[in-house]
């Protein structure tokens, strides 16, 4: 297969949650492959730091402060991006996260979970993904081409203990990914593709305290259990997502839509037996 099948030079990409650990790695990967990248984050300074790092190595990037749960902020972001880079060709929905009040613990049972925290987790992970797809997907529907990649989670595929709100929200993202793939292809254009990546266990700020001891950095019992069920025997590194992302947004995946691709070191394949 020719390398041009993976060519995304000159394309315009939006990465929500682009200032986070995983989002910034994906933004860097898209820029290194030749895309102009809009880095969206809740706060401008961290997003600008990512954009500056991309520009420092010759890439094209801009930073925008936008909360994916704020539709007016997304509308303003879309106008800024089009004015600076042109129409959006690809959207990566990396914004997401968890809240301590939305997960169980030895001190907090399911019955004591904070309803507000649960709503916030669902709003950020699912509603924010849906809102960004509406805002940036409309232009794709009008032009008859485009690519959306949502970021799911292992907790959507295999319910994990403790993270009830996060797992439910990401399961909704999986279902929505498949629904939108069908809707776009049938009602707008077969050249609009919608897929998702389901990362396995990566050390990020939202789960570091669940997987490692803050004082020593040693694995927690949960971290040990996860690695015991990960055939490759390690946590993921942010760059591990980039190859799959570049495939999904490139012409090489022209006949791929409605799939959720695990990038998990084999976790989802391991029965534990």
Q: DSSP string covering 182-249, please? A: HHHHHHT-TTEEEEEEEE--B--TTTHHHHB-TTT-PBPHHHHHHHHT-TT-S-B-GGGGHHHHHHHH
Catalytic residues: 166
Q: Do the beta carbons of residue 173 and residue 156 sit within 8 Å?
A: yes
Residue 234: other Cβ atoms inside 10 A: 11
Residue 143: other Cβ atoms inside 10 A: 15
Q: Do the beta carbons of residue 35 and residue 9 sit within 8 Å?
A: yes
CA neighbor of 10 nearest in space, from 87, 93, 94: 87
Q: Do the beta carbons of residue 203 and residue 211 sit within 8 Å?
A: yes
């Amino acid at each position: 297969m020719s390398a041009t099948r993976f060519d995304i030079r000159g394309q315009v990409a939006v990465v929500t949650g682009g200032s986070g650990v995983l989002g910034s790695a994906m933004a860097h990967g898209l820029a290194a492959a030749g895309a102009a990248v809009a880095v969206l984050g809740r706060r401008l300074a961290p997003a600008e730091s990512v954009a500056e790092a991309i520009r420092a190595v010759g890439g094209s990037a801009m930073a925008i402060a936008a909360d994916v749960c704020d539709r007016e902020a997304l509308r303003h972001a879309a106008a800024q991006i089009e004015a600076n880079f042109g129409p959006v060709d690809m959207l990566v929905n990396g914004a997401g996260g968890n809240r301590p009040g939305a997960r169980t613990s030895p001190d907090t049972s399911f019955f004591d979970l904070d309803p507000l925290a649960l709503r916030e987790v669902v709003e950020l992970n699912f509603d924010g993904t849906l809102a960004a797809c509406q805002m940036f997907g409309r232009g794709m529907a009008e032009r008859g081409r485009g690519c959306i990649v949502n970021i799911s989670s292992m907790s959507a595929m295999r319910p994990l203990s403790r993270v009830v709100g996060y797992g439910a929200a990401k399961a909704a993202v999986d279902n929505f990914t498949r629904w939108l793939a069908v809707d776009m292809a049938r009602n707008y254009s077969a050249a609009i593709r919608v897929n998702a990546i389901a990362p396995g266990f990566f050390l990020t700020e939202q789960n570091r305290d669940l997987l490692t001891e803050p004082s020593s950095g040693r694995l927690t019992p949960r971290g040990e259990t996860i690695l015991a069920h990960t055939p490759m025997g390690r946590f993921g590194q942010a760059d591990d997502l980039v190859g799959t992302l570049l495939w999904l947004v490139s012409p090489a995946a022209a006949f791929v839509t409605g799939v959720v691709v695990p990038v998990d070191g084999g976790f989802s394949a391991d029965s534990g037996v």
